[in-house]
Chain A
Amino acid sequence: QKEVEQNSGPLSVPEGAIASLNCTYSDRGSQSFFWYRQYSGKSPELIMFIYSNGDKEDGRFTAQLNKASQYVSLLIRDSQPSDSATYLCAVKASGGSYIPTFGRGTSLIVHP
């Protein structure tokens, strides 16, 4: 069974700090990795996706992928209170299926 694990948190960081969110997955054949942000009572919105080992940066967000260790992380620089949300990691296996498996999400609280 494919599993995606995240620490539920909450992760609390001060405004301006770097928030680090981690995700591990069990399917070694996984190919695509997504980070979604979900505000309370709202549906998820895609922040970033990454396919290759290494770092991928987009504004204040950096996704890091290490396939050998089977983990993917999301760094948020200069955290803002508006970043407070639940961050969902989603992993898609190789092959024809385009249905990702979602983790339970990590709650992030950025306090002023």
Chain B
Amino acid sequence: GAVVSQHPSWVICKSGTSVKIECRSLDFQATTMFWYRQFPKQSLMLMATSNEGSKATYEQGVEKDKFLINHASLTLSTLTVTSAHPEDSSFYICSARDSGTSGINEQFFGPGTRLTVL
């Protein structure tokens, strides 16, 4: 199957700092990528849909000025958590859809990034 990577896999930062998370599709092109957040014992919550070359679409309740998304190429999307606070500590997971397929619309998930804000 297609491979999606994320970097870093984990990060610890101080409150008030910004953290950038990268999501890359390694062997396919993805015009659309998705950013999820998962708190312990909770389901995946879609934060935003990242569209190559255009603005991201944010889900209701997600602050677009706090969670900056840039999808600069067909294989890379970045999520920047600005002025992070302890309540932003979570598991952030990206996924990508292979633009070249017209089949099951399967999403390929990255390995996730665990963010801890002190």
Contact = CB atoms under 8 A, between A and B. Distances in A.
Interface of A: 8, 32, 34, 41-46, 49, 88, 92, 98-100, 102-105
Given A8-B41, A100-B107, A104-B43, 7 more contacts: A32-B104, A32-B105, A34-B106, A43-B110, A43-B112, A46-B107, A92-B105
Query: Which applies to chain A's interface (DSSP): helix, strand, loop or mixed?
Result: loop
A105 B111 contact: no
Interface of B: 1, 32, 34, 41-44, 46, 49, 91, 93, 97, 104-107, 109-112, 114
B56 to A, nearest CB: 13
Given A43-B109, A49-B106, A105 B43 contact: yes
Given A98-B97, A99-B34, A46 B106 contact: yes
A50 to B, nearest CB: 10
Instruction: Indicate the member of B34, B44, B49 with the most A CB atoms within 10 Å.
Output: B44
A102 B109 contact: no
Given A43-B93, A46-B106, A49-B104, A99 B111 contact: no
Nearest to B109: A43
A34 B107 CA distance: 10
